[in-house]
Structure 1
C-alpha cells in the first residue's frame, strides 16, 4: 500500500480540507504507485502562508551560523539516505540511476554549500565622506518566499531554491510539481529533523491553478521563485507582480551546440548526444539544436546517429542509458513534434518511434531521435520539445552559425565545439545565452556560479545559485553610524 503524504504546515503533517489525494506513478511502470499526495486548494495554501508569516520574525532573528548548522545537519541526513533517495527519484521521475544519483548528490552539495555561506553573510563597509561616521550595509530577509518547482529535477531545484532562502532568514512555502513531489518531501523531513523551527518551511501539494495562484497572489508572500514552462511563468509573473512581489523566473530553452569546421567530429557528436539524450532530453538546458559547419556535416550526422543507436533504453533502475519520459502527456508531446519534423521536410535519421511492446509496453518510452536537413525556421528548430530529439542544421561559416544560434526566442544555454580560439572567444561574446560553454555540452551546472537565461528563458531579474542565489532573497539596508 503506497504511503499517503500530507501537507506540512506549522511543523505538522496534515490532510487537505478537500479530502482528495492524487497518485504519483512510476513512468516506467504506471501501475507502480510511488505515493499519494494531497490535492490541496487555495484555503490549504493560505494556511501554509499564514504559518510562514507567523514564523518570520523568530527565524529572521536566528543567527545566520545557526541557520547554516541546520542546513548542514539536514545535508548529513540526506547523505545517509542517498541510495534510498536515488531509487525514489528514479521511480517517480524516470531518470537512469546514475543521473538520479548525481541529482541527489547535487542537492546534498547545495545544502552543504549554503550552510558554509551562512558564516559569510553580512554587508559591506564603505568609506564615509564625513569624519566620525561609519557607513555600512546590512542584508535582511524579504519575509515569506513562495517556491514553485518543476518535475524534471525534483530534488536539485527545490534544494537550490530552499537553501539560500532559508539561510538568509526567509520562511518558505514550497509547492513541488505534482508529477514528482516525493523527493522534495524528503528535503522537508530532513530539515524538520535537523531542528528547523515550526512554520519556517511549509509544503503544499496540488494543482497550480489553486496552490500556485494562492502563493502568487497572497499579500503575505514577499517573493516568488518559479522554474517551469514559459507559458506558466508568464502567468506567475503577472500574478505576483500585481502587488510588486519580487519575482524570479527560469523557463524554457532551445539550446544550440555549434560544431565548427575545426572540431573533432567524434568528440562533438558525443558532446551533442550527451546533451540531447541525457535525462531523456527533459532538461531546460538540453541540447536541442546542433548547428554544424557544412564541411563536417555528413560525418557529424553519421557519428551522432551511431551515438543515439548505441544507447540502451529502459527502466532507470535497470542500469539503462536512457529512461522513460515522465508521463503519457510528455510522451505525446514529443511524438507530436516528431510528426511535425517529418511534415516540415526534415530527414529522420534515426529514432522517431514510441516503444510500446515487450518490456516497454507499460511505460512512456521513446527512441532517441535525430533529424537532419533542418532549417532554422522549422518548428522543431524553434519550439522547446522537452524530449530526446535533436535537430541538426547545416551552416556555411561561423557568422551564420552564431546567427542561427541566436535565431530563437530563448537564450538559456549554448555551447561551441571548436579548436579555433578566435571562434571560441567570439562565440562567448556574440551568442545570446545566460550560460555559455566551450567544448562542453549545454547541460550541467556548477553550484557556486550564477545560473539563468536571457530573452524568454528568464525574467532576467535575479540569477540562481552561488552568491546570486543569496541576492534574490535579501534586501539591503544602508546604515549611517555617526559615533
Structure 2
C-alpha cells in the first residue's frame, strides 16, 4: 500500500512479498511509481509550511504517541520483520526495541533545537544563529533492518521539523506499512509522512530530480549511493549516505580467546552476516591462529540454522537467490585460492521449504588474493587471515575504499588506544562486539558514507544554520 497525504492507496500494480525462509508469498501489496512519488513530494512540500512552525513540544508529543503505539504492537512488528526478512524472531524483537528507542530519543530531542547568540564585533549589533529544518526529505531504506532503519531516519527528520517521503526496500515493505499505520493512528498531520513503494530506479530518479526535495538520506550499497549523490548534485541537495562496509576484526595474541570467538560469532553470523557492520575479515595473530580457528569452527558448527519463526534458531536465510549465489561464489573462490574450510562451506537445505540458506562458514588460511578480502560478502562467511606485527595488521585492516566499522581485541591498553587512533573507520569497537548505541553517531568514512545517524549528530543532519545580524539603532 501507499500512504500519501494522510490517505492509504489500495489500487494499482501489485508486488509479491516473499518469505526467504520458505519461498512462499506472504502478501501482495499495491505499488506506485513516478507519478505517485511526485504527488507525495508535492504533499510533503505543502505540509512543510505548517510542520516547520509546529512547536518542538508538539512534534515531541506526536512522536511519543507513535512510541506508545509501536510498543503495544511489538510482537506483531517482530513477526512481520521475521516473515519478510528471515532473521530469527529474537533478533527481530531486538530490532523493534531499537526502532522504538530511536523514536523515543528524538521525541525528546525535538524540544532541544537550540540556536546560538554570538559575541558581536560592534556594540550596536546583535548576532544570532538559528537552526532550522532543511525541508522535504526523501528517505530510502534497506531490507536488512526493515524497521529500525526507517525510524532512525524519520524520527530525527520529524523532530527537526522536516517532512518525509519514504521509499522502503521492495523486498521488505511490510514493516514500513506497519510503522505508517502507527503514524496514521497517532494523528500526524496529512502530508508530514508519506510512503511510496515501488521500482527503486524510477522513484529514486524523481526524488533526486525534484527541487522541492532538499535532502536525500540513504542506506544501502556504495554503488547506488554514488549514483544518488551524482543525481542529487544537480539541485545541490544535502545528503546522508550510510553505505557498504568491510569490517576487520583484529585479535592480538594477548586477547581473551573465548571473548574474541564470541565477538566474531556475534558480529559475523547475526542476521546471517547481512549487516553493513558485519565482520568481513578476521585478522588473528599468527601465534594463536590455529587455536583460535579451531575454537571458532567448533562454536560455529553449534549454531542452529532454520526458519526464524522456530525456537532456538541462531541463523536464518539469506534474503534471496542472488545473495545465496554471491556467498557460494566467494567461498568457491576462497578455496581455489588456498583457503581451507573448517566449518560449513555449503548451501543448507532442510524440510522447512525452499529457503535461501547457507551454512555458517569459517575459512582458514585466507589471503589477499581472494575476492572476500576486498569485496563485501553480506553473508555468513568468516575468513581468517594472519599477521605478525601491529604495523602490519593496521596496514591490512585499513581498507582502501571502505571505512564503516572495525573491531579489535587486546588486553594491552596502550595498544588499544593506538588501534583506536590508527584504524580508519567511523566506528571502532575495542573489546566490544556491540559498539552501536542510540546516543552515538553511526556512519562511515571514505566510500562507506557521508553524514551520521543517531544521537544529537543525527539531528544535525536535518538542520541548517541561518546567521542573523541585527543592527540596533
Give the TM-score, by structure 1 length: 0.95
2:439 aligns to what?
Answer: 448
Asked if structure 1 preserves the Cα contact closer than 8 Å seen for 2:246 and 2:399, the reply is no
How far did residue 134 of structure 1 move?
3.2
How far did residue 364 of structure 1 move?
1.0
Report SS of the residue matched to 1:456.
Answer: helix
2:226 aligns to what?
Answer: 234
Residue among 213, 217, 231 paired with 2:209: 217
How far did residue 186 of structure 1 move?
1.5
Asked if structure 2 preserves the Cα contact closer than 8 Å seen for 1:141 and 1:473, the reply is yes
1:339 aligns to what?
Answer: 332
Residue among 158, 164, 181 paired with 1:172: 164
Q: How does 1:13-32 map to 2 (within 5 A)?
A: 13-15=8-10, 19-31=12-24
Counterparts of 2:330 and 2:280, CA distance in 1: 12
How far did residue 15 of structure 1 move?
4.2
Counterparts of 1:105 and 1:80, CA distance in 2: 12
- Superposed CA offset, 1:444-476 (max 9, x none): 510111111111111x3x211111111111111
Asked if structure 1 preserves the Cα contact closer than 8 Å seen for 2:56 and 2:159, the reply is yes
1:412 aligns to what?
Answer: 404
CA RMSD of aligned residues (A): 1.3
1:475 aligns to what?
Answer: 464
Counterparts of 1:375 and 1:125, CA distance in 2: 56
Asked if structure 2 preserves the Cα contact closer than 8 Å seen for 1:254 and 1:408, the reply is no
Report SS of the residue matched to 1:173.
Answer: strand
2:75 aligns to what?
Answer: 83
How far did residue 51 of structure 1 move?
0.9
2:62 aligns to what?
Answer: 70
Residue among 117, 123, 133 paired with 1:141: 133
- Superposed CA offset, 1:275-320 (max 9, x none): 1001110000001111010111101101110111010110111120
Counterparts of 1:188 and 1:126, CA distance in 2: 41
Residue among 448, 452, 459 paired with 1:463: 452
Q: How does 1:316-331 map to 2 (within 5 A)?
A: 316-319=308-311, 320-331=313-324
Give the TM-score, by structure 2 length: 0.97
How far did residue 377 of structure 1 move?
3.9
Counterparts of 2:454 and 2:374, CA distance in 1: 28
Pair 1:207-2:196 in alignment: no
Pair 1:368-2:368 in alignment: no
Residue among 64, 87, 105 paired with 1:95: 87
Report SS of the residue matched to 1:224.
Answer: strand
Counterparts of 2:84 and 2:72, CA distance in 1: 20
How far did residue 378 of structure 1 move?
2.1
Pair 1:11-2:6 in alignment: yes
Asked if structure 1 preserves the Cα contact closer than 8 Å seen for 2:21 and 2:353, the reply is no
Asked if structure 1 preserves the Cα contact closer than 8 Å seen for 2:428 and 2:435, the reply is no
2:114 aligns to what?
Answer: 122
Counterparts of 2:229 and 2:272, CA distance in 1: 29
Asked if structure 2 preserves the Cα contact closer than 8 Å seen for 1:251 and 1:456, the reply is yes
Report SS of the residue matched to 1:322.
Answer: coil
Report SS of the residue matched to 1:410.
Answer: coil
Counterparts of 1:59 and 1:398, CA distance in 2: 53
Report SS of the residue matched to 1:295.
Answer: helix
State the number of aligned residues. 471
Residue among 36, 45, 53 paired with 1:61: 53
Pair 1:187-2:179 in alignment: yes
How far did residue 361 of structure 1 move?
4.1
Deviates more, 1:63-72 or 1:180-189: 180-189
Pair 1:281-2:273 in alignment: yes
Runs of 4+ in 1 over 4 A off after TM superposition: none
Report SS of the residue matched to 1:177.
Answer: coil
Asked if structure 2 preserves the Cα contact closer than 8 Å seen for 1:68 and 1:115, the reply is yes
2:346 aligns to what?
Answer: 353
Report SS of the residue matched to 2:281.
Answer: strand
Asked if structure 2 preserves the Cα contact closer than 8 Å seen for 1:376 and 1:407, the reply is no
Asked if structure 2 preserves the Cα contact closer than 8 Å seen for 1:94 and 1:323, the reply is yes
